[in-house]
Structure 1
Amino acid sequence: MKPFGVRKIELSGRFPIPKEVREEISIKSDDPVEFFTDDGCIGIMKYKERCCICEANNDVKPFKNNFICQNCKDEIIIMANRKKEAC
């Protein structure tokens, strides 16, 4: 990781994200972002929907109140068809 300067945290707990960081990770105003911590560091990344089964973030489609990738969807269909055949 490379440093982008120092920012102060406001009383409300907010802090500005430097323009260089926003540009590097392609975030704009109102884009959802995720925060994570690792060994005392805070990370920010642009939010991407993930499969609720395997956590993949490619080829993900809404499914009820979650998201599911095509691979997991295909596996579920195969397993359901096997179960029907066994009955």
Structure 2
Amino acid sequence: MKLISENKIDALGRVTLPAQIRHKLGMDKGDSVDIFEDNGYMIIKKHNNSCVFCGHSKNLIEYNHKHICSNCLDNLKK
């Protein structure tokens, strides 16, 4: 793991993500991130939408802010 920058937490608990990393990951204003805690480390990962039933990330349809793949949608219709 490589240290990119050291940032301070502001009064509202926010941290700015370095532009270098945002650009490298193709992130833009309004994109979501996933935040994990693992053995004392905070891990911030670019969020990728996936099916709520099977976890696949292709052929997704959004319904009520949830994502469902076409396979699972077909199974639900049966």
> TM class, shorter-chain normalised?
0.7 to 0.9
Q: Is the 8 A contact 1:25 1:46 kept in 2?
A: yes
Q: CA deviation at 1:72?
A: 2.0
- 1:42 maps onto 2:9 in alignment: no
Q: Is the 8 A contact 1:56 1:69 kept in 2?
A: yes
List runs of 5+ in structure 2 lacking aligned partners.
none
Greater fraction of residues in helix: 1
In structure 2, relative to structure 1, the CA distance for the partners of 1:43 and 1:24 (3 Å cut) is farther
CA distance in structure 1 between the partners assigned to 2:65 and 2:29 by the alignment: 25
Tell me what 1:54 maps to: 54
Tell me what 1:27 maps to: 27
TM-score w.r.t. the length of structure 2 is 0.75
Q: CA deviation at 1:47?
A: 2.2
Q: CA deviation at 1:10?
A: 1.2
Q: CA deviation at 1:33?
A: 2.0
RMSD across aligned positions (CA): 2.0
Identity %: 28
TM-score w.r.t. the length of structure 1 is 0.69
Rg larger in structure: 1
**Segments ≥4 residues shifted beyond 3 Å:** 74-77
1:24-60 deviations in Å (ceiling 9; x for gaps): 2211122222222222222222222221101222221
CA distance in structure 1 between the partners assigned to 2:20 and 2:71 by the alignment: 36
